[in-house]
Every structure is written in C-alpha cells, then in structure tokens.
C-alpha cells in the first residue's frame, strides 16, 4: 500500500513537472504575479472603483468600462448610427448626425476628454472627436448620451482634439490634413500643397453652465499636419501645445516624404493673446458652412442648424500667438505634466524623448531666442526651450501620462512597452512589456493637475495570440497595470470595442451619484408625446399617419391598428410611460428598413415606417421588460391604396365578432 | 490512500491548467513568483502561415546567421517582430567578417550590449523603402538617432559610401536590403 502511494506521488510530481515543462508558456504574457487576479477582482454586485471612457476608433462610439474589473458598462453612440439604441435611426436623433455634407452615419472617434474645473475632472461632460468628417461631440454624464455635436470648417481629419483647457473654457481641434480653406477654390492640383493648403486650429468655447459649444475663433497656420495637443495648466494656463508633423509639406508617400527632416515642431499657442486680438477686432470673418446639432433632454429631440460664419486669426500676421519649437522626428504625443512646467513631445521616429520647459519657452520668447521662422511663425531654438532629453527610452515613443508624483509614463509602439521615468532627472525607472504594440495609455486624471495614479491602462493595437482566435479580425486590447508601487504590475487585460485610442478615467464617485434614472414624464415636451393611454391616437395627414403610442408593462396602446394603406408613411411616436429605473421598452415592426426604437422611461421616440406591402405587420417590445414581455405586442393591418378600410386603433377592445366565435 | 489520490488529482489538474495558462496564469498557481519569465513578445506568436516578418526572413537566410545572433543578443527581436514598417539593412556574414578580427565577438559580450544595440539600430529605419525609392544624396534617419547617407553609383544604392545593397527581400512588416558591409554609426560626441 505504502509503496503504491509513494510511487503514485512520485509519478504525480514527475508528471506535473514534465507537463509544466512541455507546456511552458512561450511568451512573457504569462509573467503575471499570482496576486494580480485579486487586484483586478470586483465581486459580483460590487461597483468598480473607476469609470474608464475609451474612444472607439473606427466604431465611431465611446465605450465605458469599470476598473479594475475591465467590465464593459456601456457603449455610447456618438458619431455612428447605432441600431441597438435607434440612434441615428429615430426621427428625434437623426439630426445629430447632420453635417455640411448631409447625414453622415459613421466616423472615426479617437480621443476622449473629461471636462475640468481648476484642472480637476468635474464629471459633467466628456468630449469626443470625429476624425474623418471633422466634428467634436459633448456627452452628458448624467445620461451618458450625446448632447451636442459641432462640425469644424476649414478642417480635414480632426485629430488633435478634443483636448480642453483647465476650466473647460475651450475644446480645441487641430486639422490633421491641411487643405485649401473652405472659402478658397479647392479644385487645385494636389502638388500645389505648399501654396494652397493651410492648417486651421479651432477653439470651441464651452458654456460654463450648459456646456453649449460654439467656435469662438480659428487660427490660420501653415499647411502642415497637426497631430495631438494638450493645454497648459497651472503656470502655463493660457497656452496650448500641438504636435506637428509633415513640416516637409509632402503631399504623397508621407511614409517616406514626411520623415525627411531631423525635427518637426511642437506649436505653442498663446490663446489668451488670441482672445485679446479677437476682442480688438483683429479677426477676419470667413463665410463657411458647418452644422451645429443639439439634443434636448426635455423634448427628447435633436435639432440641427447650419452656421455660416467664423472668425479667423492669422498666425502669420498676428506675430505673438503661435511659436514653433523644434521636436525630433514626427512628434505624436504632446503632453503637459500636472505642474504645467513640462511639455513632453514624443517623436515617433526619434531615439529620445525631449522634455520642454514652459519657463524656458517664456524666456526664449522674451529673449527672441529664435533660429529663424517657418512660414512666418518664429521658431524657438531647440536648446533654449529644452529641459532635457530622456535618452534611450525605448523604440517608437508615442504618448505620455503623469502620476502627479514627479513621474511620467510613456508608451513605445515599436518596442511594445510602457516606460516610467522621472520628470526632473529624466532617468528611466521601470519598464513593463505590453502585448502588443501599445498606442495610447491612460492614468485616471493623468493629463490633469490632479492625477489619481492607482492604475495605468495601456491600449494595444495588436493582440495576435492573446485571445482565442476569431478569424482575420482580432480585437484590440486594454491592459491594466497597478502603478501604486515603484514597479508597474500587469494585473489584467481585456478586449475592447472598435479600436481604442486615447481614454480617460475618473473615480466613480465623481460621476455615479449624478446618474439619471428616468426622465420625468410631466416634463416631456415632445410634440408627439402621449402622457397617458387616454391621450393615444392615430391621425392621418394625407399619406402620412401619426401613431401616438404609449408603452408600459406589458402592452402598447394602441396595439391594433387598421386602415393603413400601401404607400403610407407611418410615424410611430412611442412614449414610455414607466417612471422606474432600468425599464426601457423597445419597439420593432416587421419590415422596418431602419432599426428599432429603444425608449427610456419618460421619453418619446419616433420610428418612420413605410407601408410597402399589403398584409399584417406585427410589432413588439424588444427589451425584456417583465414576465409578460413576450405578450407585449400588437398588429398593424395594411390595406391596398384606395381601400375603404376605416382608420381604427384600440387596445383590448378589438374582439372577435360573436357569430365568428359561434362557428364550429 | 484518498489523500494521495487527491495529490495525484491536483497534479493532473495542475498540469492541465499549466497548458492553459497563457491568459490565466494567475489562477493556476499559488506562489508569488512570476509564473513565467521567458522574455519576448510578438516573435513568439505561433503562426507558420502568414507572410514572414523581417526577423523571420533574416532567420531563414544562411547568409545572415551573424546578424540574427546579434539581434537576439541585443534584445531587438521583439521590436523587429512588431508591425513596423521597417527598412532593415542586413549585412551578410561575409560583411561582418570584413570587420577587424574580434570585433563581432567583442560586441556579443553582455557588457557591450548597448554598443551592439546602437550598431544594429543604425541598420534600421521606420518606413518600408523599396530600393528604387532611394535618391542620391538622401539622408535616412535611423532608429539609433544617427543618419545614413545614400548615394547612387552605377545604378546601385550605396550607404555611407561603404555598403552596397546587393539584394532586396520584401517582408510582412517591411523590407530587407541585403548589404555587403556593416554600417558603423558616427562616434558619439
């Protein structure tokens, strides 16, 4: 007996050892300490500590995760239609996606920025940029819904956006692609870039109370590519910094031709000075066309207007607004530390990371320590602006965030790592690999005056063998590091929606208690609202039929509609009468060429439906609302054009005729 | 007996988990030590089907064993397995042999890793540049921060007047130009 057990034990150990060897993980992706799971674990029923607002890249939306669990909480539709929520499909939300190019149902959403007061996240709004058809959106963090979208004229590729000043005075938007201005003839040869193309930076003012956006002014700059930006803060409040590449002004094969110069620029913008010029009437009025769309939470309806004028300040004429600072090799990230003193420019082709000093930049401007000018803009001497360089930091530096303890964390795309270094000494303190090819990173408050540096999230572009394969397209990933100690510790990774670029994170307490649970039905001013079942009706106006409908657990009113004729345009104006948390109702009807409606409690939403075929069309609730959700349905009868079936609508009254019941 | 059987079961379970611990390493062990410390990244992705990256192309060449050994010693395999796009000037074994005797052996020592990295990074630039895109007088900014001068002589691309491109091989994440000399970065000031 003893012999058997002994041999069994030996065999077990051997077996375990051998198999451990044979299954030895092949990459350091497994280099995770055993306490990682407990650090990322949030028990069922418990809230996460942080909200993480992650840009959706080519999904056009923004996703919201809880940290440290990495649980997906919400996907907020912003720049792309979302059939799940009816966003961009309901009559009320369609105007949100209106532009000077008409209705644009998709965009590429790269950066997110939470509103700030005194350089701290105030949790009121989050801004988002659209890269392709240049726009900036404001999302309300009481409802987690897009409230406003403003288009940017004279722009193409709104990349260095939507970064904000420390009291959310402005959201900026710098054009990635320089183009001929909107009021100039754009029908010119592409190789006349140097003569005809210009770069515009927009300053969008934000209403102190209501958050309403307005393009306060644009600055006309040389035709180059603006990449990323961050506002000054504290001592450098009043300044904005933009990274610029393609100072070669190449118009083809930028991969090679925009990497010719040893240095491109960081552009420092004195926006307080720009305001002075604006007040002094130095701006030029320019005729343009851009859309401004606002969603009203009282009538639950978006409106869109096309605006036609902006004010432009010319950086070449107004000498002391813009300054260029040489920055090695196609700078990408442009990040300002919590004190406002250090500006980190990361040249993605550079072998070092330069750190500029705000004080030195000011002195250089006072001393006119310029090496010359670039298209009329003074170029400050590199050494005169430089605090120092982080030497041999890694390969392919991209973005930097800060911990508020004097340290910076920079991502390196080519060497797939996050590197922690000290802002004063410029010494590298720690390195952590990412899996793989990291782009942006985020520390809660990591670009504000008050970082809350418990975690760092790295957003990776390549995930090859990280998750179960899903065909040619693989998810991007977020990787969570605990940075509360001296060394970064990888504790979790999770797949993301679309392609995450920049992200923001904030302690849950700043936002969670303001969250709206439902909309008050008595405050609903939608012109098609039905505030009770008694108020429901069906009204014909020519070939348009308006169905004033309500829904409440668990029926629609009306749920039987007859007298619709082929060719009719039917508008279902559905009001959710619930006044309770987490009880949206959905509305879907067979053959709808658009989407469903998802109607929040107290809200009215409208689905347009064209009666094309004669016959019977069921409609039903799509969002599981009660035990009798499956019963929540109705019928719409479509008769031939010219038929004399009267318009009838009812709930619970349309009973079979007595003689038909009697038939056996 | 039951006790031993449990041990045996745990051992089996342990081995099963160990096979699956790429993502769930943390749950498969009770120690505080890292579960695995094997260095590396994308170079370890198991994929024999996709087009080869610059590292795999170089590794499959019998004329580039010195270069490949040097890339490993300099910890540059992970970086060069990345998305790129890279242009890699790849000196042949014969090119390395033209260096003074003992140079390569010296650089392969651990305390010379930084020098080796500097030299190898001087052979890489970001952007996939085909041989025909090079122009006489062109200056290339290399990954180590220094520049390489391009000249065109008799229709051939010559780098720093010392190495000639003798073949070009496309790779999934860039292009390899085989060169007949080793490029030496300028002395540091």
Express each pLDDT in A340-356 by its tens digit.
999 999 888 788 999 99
Q: Chain B residues with CB inside 8 Å of A255's CB?
A: 85, 127-128
Q: CB-based contact (8 Å) between B44 and chain A?
A: yes
Q: Answer yes or no: are the C-beta atoms of A448 and A431 closer than 8 Å.
A: no
Position A626 scores a pLDDT of: 94
Across the interface, whether the CB atoms of A25 and B36 are under 8 A apart is answered: yes
Mutual angle of helices B113-121 and B65-73, in 10-degree steps: 120
* A657 or A284, greater pLDDT: A284
Q: Chain B residues with CB inside 8 Å of A35's CB?
A: 26, 32
Distance from CA of B61 to the nearest CA of A (A): 24
Q: Is a pLDDT exceeding 90 seen at residue A33?
A: no
Strand partners, B164: B158
Name the token pair of A534: 């008694």
Across the interface, whether the CB atoms of B25 and A32 are under 8 A apart is answered: yes
Q: Is a pLDDT exceeding 70 seen at residue A388?
A: yes
Q: Answer yes or no: are the C-beta atoms of A647 and A544 closer than 8 Å.
A: no
Q: Answer yes or no: are the C-beta atoms of B80 and B171 closer than 8 Å.
A: no
Query: What's the pLDDT tens digit per position in A135-153?
Result: 999 999 999 999 999 999 9
- What does pLDDT average to over chain A? 94
A541 band by pLDDT with thresholds 50, 70 and 90: very high
Cα angle A84, A292, A95; round to 5:
35
CB–CB contacts below 8 A, A to B = 159
Position B27 scores a pLDDT of: 39
B38, B79, B125: residue with CB nearest A25: B38
Distance from CA of B92 to the nearest CA of A (A): 24
Question: Between the CA atoms of A542, A543, A548 and A549, what dihedral angle is there, to the nearest 10 degrees?
Answer: 160
Query: What's the pLDDT tens digit per position in A186-201?
Result: 999 999 999 999 999 9
Across the interface, whether the CB atoms of A19 and B18 are under 8 A apart is answered: yes
Q: What is the CA radius of gyration of chain B?
A: 22
Q: Is a pLDDT exceeding 70 seen at residue A9?
A: no
Q: CB-based contact (8 Å) between B131 and chain A?
A: no
Across the interface, whether the CB atoms of B11 and A437 are under 8 A apart is answered: no
As for the ipTM of the complex, it is 0.85
Position A659 scores a pLDDT of: 66
Position A330 scores a pLDDT of: 86
A19 band by pLDDT with thresholds 50, 70 and 90: very low
Q: CB-based contact (8 Å) between A278 and chain B?
A: no
Average pLDDT of the segment spanning A158-163: 97
Across the interface, whether the CB atoms of A8 and B4 are under 8 A apart is answered: yes
Query: What's the pLDDT tens digit per position in A489-516?
Result: 999 999 999 999 999 999 999 999 999 9
Query: What's the pLDDT tens digit per position in A452-495?
Result: 999 999 999 999 999 999 999 999 999 999 999 999 999 999 99
Name the token pair of A209: 């109370």
Q: Chain A residues with CB inside 8 Å of B18's CB?
A: 16, 19-20, 23
Q: Left, alpha or beta for A126 (phi > 0: left; psi -120 to 50: alpha)?
A: beta
A51 band by pLDDT with thresholds 50, 70 and 90: very high
Average pLDDT of the segment spanning A552-570: 97
Q: Is a pLDDT exceeding 60 seen at residue A180?
A: yes
A23, A28, A32: residue with CB nearest B18: A23
Across the interface, whether the CB atoms of A20 and B26 are under 8 A apart is answered: no
Name the stretches of chain B with pLDDT < 50. 1-38
Q: CB-based contact (8 Å) between A185 and chain B?
A: no
Position B39 scores a pLDDT of: 56
Across the interface, whether the CB atoms of A348 and B126 are under 8 A apart is answered: yes
Q: Is B119 in a helix, a strand, or coil?
A: helix
Across the interface, whether the CB atoms of B143 and A35 are under 8 A apart is answered: no
Single pTM value for the model: 0.91
In chain B, which residue's Cα lies nearest the Cα of A434? B41
Position A261 scores a pLDDT of: 79
In chain A, which residue's Cα lies nearest the Cα of B33? A33
């Amino acid at each position: 007996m003893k012999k058997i057990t002994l041999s069994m034990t030996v065999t077990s150990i051997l077996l375990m050892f051998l198999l451990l060897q044979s299954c030895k993980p092949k990459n350091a992706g497994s280099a995770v300490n055993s306490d990682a799971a407990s650090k990322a674990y949030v028990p069922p029923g418990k809230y996460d500590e942080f909200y993480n607002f992650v840009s959706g890249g080519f999904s056009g939306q923004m996703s919201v995760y809880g940290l440290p669990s990495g649980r997906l909480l919400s996907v907020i539709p912003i720049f792309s239609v979302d059939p799940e929520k009816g966003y961009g499909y309901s009559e009320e939300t369609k105007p949100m996606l209106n532009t000077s190019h008409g209705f644009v149902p998709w965009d590429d959403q790269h950066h997110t920025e939470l509103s700030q007061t005194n350089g701290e996240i105030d949790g009121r709004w989050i801004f988002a940029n659209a890269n392709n058809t240049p726009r900036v959106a404001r999302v309300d963090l009481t409802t987690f819904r897009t409230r406003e979208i403003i288009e940017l004229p004279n722009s193409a590729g709104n990349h260095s956006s939507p970064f904000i000043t420390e009291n959310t005075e402005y959201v900026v938007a710098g054009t990635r692609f320089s183009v001929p201005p909107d009021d100039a003839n754009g029908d010119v040869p592409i190789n006349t870039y140097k003569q005809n193309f210009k770069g515009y930076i927009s300053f969008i003012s934000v209403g102190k109370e209501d958050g309403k956006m307005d393009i306060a002014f644009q600055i006309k700059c040389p035709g180059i590519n603006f990449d990323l930006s961050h506002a000054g803060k504290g001592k450098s409040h009043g300044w904005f910094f933009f990274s610029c590449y393609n100072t070669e002004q190449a118009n083809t094969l930028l991969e090679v031709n925009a990497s010719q110069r040893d240095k491109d620029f960081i552009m420092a913008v004195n926006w307080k000075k720009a305001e002075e010029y604006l007040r002094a009437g130095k701006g030029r009025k320019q005729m343009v066309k851009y859309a401004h769309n606002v969603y009203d939470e009282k009538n639950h309806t978006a409106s869109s207007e096309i605006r036609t004028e902006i004010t432009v300040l010319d950086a070449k004429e107004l000498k002391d607004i813009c300054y260029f600072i040489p920055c090695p090799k196609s700078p990408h990230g442009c990040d300002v530390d919590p004190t406002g003193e250090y500006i980190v420019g990361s040249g993605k082709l550079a072998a070092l990371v330069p750190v500029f000093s705000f004080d030195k930049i000011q002195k250089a401007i006072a001393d006119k320590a310029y090496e010359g000018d670039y298209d009329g803009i003074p170029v400050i001497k590199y050494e005169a602006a430089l605090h120092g360089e982080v030497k041999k930091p890694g390969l392919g530096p991209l973005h930097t965030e800060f911990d508020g303890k004097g340290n910076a964390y920079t991502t390196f795309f080519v060497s797939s790592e996050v590197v922690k270094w000290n802002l004063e000494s410029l010494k590298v303190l720690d390195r952590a690999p990412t899996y793989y090819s990291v782009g942006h990173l985020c520390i809660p408050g990591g670009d504000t005056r008050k970082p809350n540096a418990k975690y760092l999230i790295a957003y990776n572009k390549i995930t090859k063998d990280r998750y179960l394969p899903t065909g040619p397209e693989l998810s991007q990933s977020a990787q969570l590091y605990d940075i509360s100690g001296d060394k970064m510790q990888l504790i979790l990774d999770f797949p993301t929606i679309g392609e995450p670029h920049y992200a923001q994170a904030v302690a849950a307490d700043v936002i969670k208690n303001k969250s709206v649970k439902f909309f008050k039905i008595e405050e609903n001013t939608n012109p098609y609202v039905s505030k009770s079942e008694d108020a429901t009706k069906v009204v014909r106006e020519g070939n348009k039929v308006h169905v004033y409908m309500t829904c409440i657990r668990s029926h629609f009113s009306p749920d039987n509609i007859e007298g619709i004729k082929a060719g009719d345009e039917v508008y279902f104006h559905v009001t959710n009468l619930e006044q309770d948390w987490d009880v949206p109702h959905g509305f879907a009807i067979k053959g709808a060429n658009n989407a469903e409606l998802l109607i929040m409690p107290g809200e009215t939403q409208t689905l347009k439906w064209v009666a094309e075929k004669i016959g019977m069309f069921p409609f039903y609730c799509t969002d599981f609302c009660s035990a009798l959700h499956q019963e929540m349905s109705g019928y719409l009868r479509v008769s031939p054009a010219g038929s004399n079936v009267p318009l009838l609508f009812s709930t619970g009254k349309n009973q079979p005729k007595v003689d038909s019941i009697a038939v056996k | 007996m039951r006790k031993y059987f449990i041990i045996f079961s745990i051992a089996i379970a342990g081995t099963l988990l160990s096979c699956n611990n790429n993502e769930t390493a943390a749950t498969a062990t009770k120690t505080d030590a890292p579960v695995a410390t094997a260095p590396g990244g994308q170079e370890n992705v198991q994929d024999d089907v996709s087009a080869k990256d610059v590292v795999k192309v170089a590794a499959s060449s019998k004329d580039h064993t010195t270069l490949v050994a040097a890339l490993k010693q300099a910890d540059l395999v992970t970086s060069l397995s990345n998305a790129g796009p890279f242009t890699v000037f790849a000196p042949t074994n014969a090119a390395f042999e033209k260096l003074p005797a003992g140079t390569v052996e010296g650089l392969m020592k651990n305390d010379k890793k930084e020098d080796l990295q500097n030299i190898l990074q001087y052979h890489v630039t970001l952007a996939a540049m085909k041989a025909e895109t090079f122009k006489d007088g062109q200056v290339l900014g290399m990954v180590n921060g220094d520049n390489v001068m391009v000249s065109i002589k008799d229709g051939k691309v010559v780098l720093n007047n010392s190495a000639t491109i003798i073949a070009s091989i496309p790779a999934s994440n860039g292009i390899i130009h085989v060169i007949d000399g080793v490029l030496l970065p300028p002395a540091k000031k």
